[in-house]
Amino acid sequence: MLLGVNLTLDLDSEVPIYQQIRDRIVEAIARGEAEEGDPLPSTRQLAADFGINFHTVNKAYDLLRQEGVIRVNRKSGAVIRRDPRSGPPEPGFTDDWEDRMRVLLAEATVHGLGGDDVVRRCAAMLSGFRAEERTTR
């Protein structure tokens, strides 16, 4: 699967570019567009595709490597490391994740999104991941 060509970045966003790259790749893996062992574009290639500096891509890949999402091999570049359904999360991840989720849920609540509505939207997005997964495979 050719990852990288279908990423959409907003170079003017306040969200750092390297963070956007990381987010898009995590989403792509969740959607099942890339599975364990699949290669990512080379840092310089991806940088050229988006007209950004390769160091920026490098930082995104390094972040993904620290998170255990990809492996970086000197020869073949970066490849997907984790399969979406490869066991329970690392201890420590869930706590941090719940903290961030709590803020996001509180925000929805404060802005008038009902609890049922929120849960429905989350479930929809999650099954959206699985639906794409079935299609692209």
Which residue of 89, 131, 135, 136 would you call a contact of a copy of itself, by CB under 8 A? 89
Which residue of 27, 36, 37, 45 would you call a contact of DNA, by CB under 7 A? 45
Distance in angstroms between the alpha carbons of the first and the last residue of the chain: 10
Minimum CB distance to a copy of itself, residue 20 (Å): 10
Token pair of 93 as six digits: 């991840």
Which residue of 6, 27, 36, 53 would you call a contact of DNA, by CB under 7 A? 53
From residue 7 to residue 36, the character string flagging contacts with DNA as x (rule: CB under 7 A) and all else as - is: ----x--x-xxxx-----------------
Minimum CB distance to DNA, residue 96 (Å): 17
Find the helix packing angle between 54-66 and 17-30, rounded to 10°.
50
- Using rule CB under 8 A, residue 95 touches a copy of itself: no
C-beta separation of 70 from 64 below 8 A: yes
**What residue has token string 């893996």?**
29
- Using rule CB under 8 A, residue 136 touches a copy of itself: no
C-beta separation of 79 from 69 below 8 A: no
